[in-house]
Amino acid sequence: MIINTQHSIFITKNTMKKLIIVIAITLITAATANAQLYKGFGIKAGTTIASQTFTINGKRFDDSTYKYGFTAGIFKEFHVIQNLKAQIGINYARKGSLLEVIETDESGNIIGKGNIHENFDFITAELYAKYNFLKSKINPYILAGLRIDFYLSQHSFYRSSNGNETENEVGIPVTNNKIFGASLGAGLEYQASKLFSLFLEGTYNPDFTDIYNGGSIIRGRSFDIRTGIKF
């Protein structure tokens, strides 16, 4: 399934600093705007649980196991009608996969199990429809929508059974820099005060397009568990 050679790329500290600065500026701008514009802004952060599927000659393989990553971002919520709202957002997300490798000695005896770690970093733009079931202090909701993942960078490495890590120069090549997908989820919102509410939500995020398509096909999917605050 490994098809090409591609050098690993890290998100640099400068890139992360710039992302934090952008988020901070957006929140400060929202905080200093008038009350109507300010209402509905929020920030969320949490965990991505991602994996990838491989299709070769029309046959699909679910060889990878789920890999944990990080996601964080900002959003703005708009009232549509009654309990229905629209939500737009932008997030950083680390996704990828974990492939198990059987380690053997020169005689072919199994000596342990290692893992190939594939990490992909994305900036995600999303548009949700959100439906609140109640208008109370504790409010369950469901959401569904579309998203675009913009590819930033990749990091691939191998971790052996004894814990040693080596950079993997032969990683999954990326042929699509924009990944289209959907998100379906549910959450629970708690109105802590008149100024803000806290929430916890989970989403399932299947991809519609492939991260690699050339002979074999590699496509991602993930679950997100996020918590946050909405003003």
Q: What is the DSSP letter of 94?
A: E
Residue 32, classed as helix, strand or coil, is helix
Give this prediction's pTM. 0.75
Cβ–Cβ contacts within 10 Å for residue 215, how many?
Answer: 10
CA distance 43 to 72: 8
* 13-230 placed in CATH 2.40.160.20: yes
Cα–Cα distances (Å) from 146 to 8, 91, 92, in that order, read 29, 13, 16
CA distance 43 to 17: 17
pLDDT at 87: 95
* Domain range summary for the chain, segments of one domain joined by +: 13-230
Amino acid identity for residue 70 in this structure: F
CA distance 74 to 156: 28
Q: From first to last of its 231 residues, what are the pLDDT tens digits of the chain?
A: 333 333 333 445 566 656 666 666 665 555 555 555 568 899 999 999 998 887 776 677 666 678 899 999 999 999 899 899 999 999 999 998 877 776 667 777 777 777 778 888 999 999 999 999 988 889 999 999 999 999 998 887 777 677 776 776 656 778 888 999 999 999 999 999 888 999 999 999 999 998 887 777 888 899 999 999 999
